[in-house]
Amino acid sequence: MSPRRRIVSAVLCLLAAVTGCKKEAPAAPATPTIGLVLGLGGRGDHSFNDSALRGLELWAAGKKYEKAGYQEAPAQELAPLGITPVVLQSRVAEDYEPNLQLLADQGVSLAMGVGFMLENAVETVARRNPSLPFLLVDSPLLDAQGRVLTLPNVRTVVFREEEGCFLAGALAGLVTKTGRVGMVGGMKIPLVERYEAGFRAGVAATNPNATVLVNYTGSFTDFALGKQVGQDLLLKNTDVVFAAAGVDGLGAIQAVKEAREAGKAVSVIGVDSDPSHLAPEAVLSAVVKHVDRVVYEAIRDQRQGRFQGGNVSLGLKEGGMGLAPVRLDFPGKAEALKTVDALRARIVSGELKVPTRVEAAQAAGANP
């Protein structure tokens, strides 16, 4: 048994609250264990991974993770589901498959992978363990030709990110005074390009004369690089920056925070989770992706015997996306928020279709 397997086995046995841990099989836990494999950003990204952890730990388990171990969490809006969380961090992409298989070997009741990069690993391990339910967040399963496929034991959830990003762009277009807004993207892949397309289209809807500057870092895990790219955008006179790059986005938020502290009238819009606690004087809002709710509901369905495989798409209408509260004050704020709310209503009703491709957004009027 590898060192990783020995460590996780020992942890599961301690969590089980039973006497002993038989060598031939893991001891039955006192409560069902739910396993989660994190993406490379990991715990503490204040974004995608932390949202998944919130759904698993604070909401489903009623536990707060501390360095010394789990502690009872304060009362939450959602009732705990009586489960024990098991979280595995992936240091490199090659960890995804063995981590998921390790959860299966240890007898979890539900195995979850968060992030599009886990797609191949989830499919492989799910086929190998057809009786174990899996949740994959942020990607469907794809065949060799790139077509969506389904497995009866895998629920995949994707988001219409362009809808939430459209609202962020609309807000940025209303707030900017320089007429120049920026976006820090991570890897330039179709998923993140949907963020760009929605953001560009939103800016064009409220400020068609504004210029949108976009820089990709090529990473989701490099804080220093994200800060550098954010600083570069600020030097180009952008006064609203959309940080959509995981840990790199945290660096961009830091760049805006420091510029704000230096007296510049700049602000930043976060992504996936609300990062306002990191820079309360600089964070304008955030495009919130409710991964926490997706994780909680998958666990609830498993506990109630209602878990089903299949593909789910969530946007503004379903409550899967949204804008965090706009906490900063600016001239014309009340009217700006009414405008953004009206655009949201048009998207929910189906009257307004948000482009998913950058070319389409640019054709709609958002300047390159």
pLDDT digits (tens, 9 = 90+) for 145-194: 989 999 999 999 999 999 999 999 999 999 999 999 999 999 998 889 99
Share of the chain above pLDDT 90, in %: 80
Say whether both 247 and 267 belong to one domain.
yes
Full domain range(s) for residue 241: 161-282+328-363
Say whether both 35 and 82 belong to one domain.
yes
pLDDT at 77: 82
Question: Is a pLDDT exceeding 70 seen at residue 28?
Answer: no
Whether 112 maps to a domain, the answer reads yes
pLDDT at 302: 97
Say whether both 357 and 308 belong to one domain.
no
Least confident span in 71-80, 97-106, 244-253: 71-80
pLDDT at 335: 98
- Mean pLDDT of the region 213-234: 96
pLDDT at 365: 57
Residues 238/214, Cβ–Cβ less than 8 Å: no
pLDDT at 67: 81
pLDDT at 364: 66
pLDDT at 121: 97
Total domains, the chain: 2
Whether 368 maps to a domain, the answer reads no
pLDDT digits (tens, 9 = 90+) for 47-82: 889 999 999 999 999 999 988 789 998 888 899 999
Question: Is a pLDDT exceeding 80 seen at residue 23?
Answer: no
Which residues, at least 6 apart from 17, have a Cβ–Cβ distance to it below 8 Å?
29, 30
Whether 93 maps to a domain, the answer reads yes
pLDDT at 362: 79
Say whether both 210 and 347 belong to one domain.
yes
Residues 348/317, Cβ–Cβ less than 8 Å: yes
Say whether both 249 and 357 belong to one domain.
yes
Residues 213/200, Cβ–Cβ less than 8 Å: no
Whether 319 maps to a domain, the answer reads no
pLDDT digits (tens, 9 = 90+) for 281-298: 999 999 999 999 999 999
* DSSP-derived 3-state class of residue 351: coil
pLDDT at 18: 34
How buried is 265 (Cβ within 10 angstroms: 0-12 exposed, 13-18 middle, 19+ buried)?
Answer: exposed
CA nearest to 114, candidates 65, 63, 158, 163: 158
**CA 356 – CA 194 distance, rounded (Å):** 5
Helix runs in 217-315, H state only: 223-235, 247-261, 291-303
How buried is 221 (Cβ within 10 angstroms: 0-12 exposed, 13-18 middle, 19+ buried)?
Answer: middle
> Dihedral (C-alpha) 12, 154, 148, 293: value to the nearest 10 degrees?
-80
Q: Rounded to two decimals, what is the model's pTM?
A: 0.87
